[in-house]
Amino acid sequence: MKHEIKVCMGSSCFARGNMNNLEYIENYINENNLDTELELVGAHCQNLCENGPHIFVDGKNYDEVDEEKLQNILESIK
């Protein structure tokens, strides 16, 4: 099963860290040869700005995502 990772690209989430999170995910996918297992897509603002930045994995919302939280999320679906 291919997992979908959706990164909120709204200006608030992007400014709060999703610019860095996006780069981290891209590097993680490349370094671990996971391009056939993980699909990385962008999303328009989800109107959840208050608790951003947001990442969605297979439809599940993760809020206040930083690099440490992101590492745990990616390891759990690897």
Task: For residue 39, give the nearest of 8, 78, 3 by alpha carbon.
Answer: 3
Give me the pLDDT at residue 54, please: 96
The helix/strand/coil state of 71 is helix
- CATH number assigned to the domain comprising residue 71: 3.40.30.10
Task: For residue 17, give the nearest of 60, 46, 51, 58 by alpha carbon.
Answer: 51
Domain around 45? 3-77
Task: For residue 19, give the nearest of 75, 50, 59, 65 by alpha carbon.
Answer: 65
Give me the pLDDT at residue 58, please: 96
Number of folded domains in the chain? 1
Residues of the chain with pLDDT under 50: none
Model confidence, pTM: 0.91
Give me the pLDDT at residue 32, please: 94
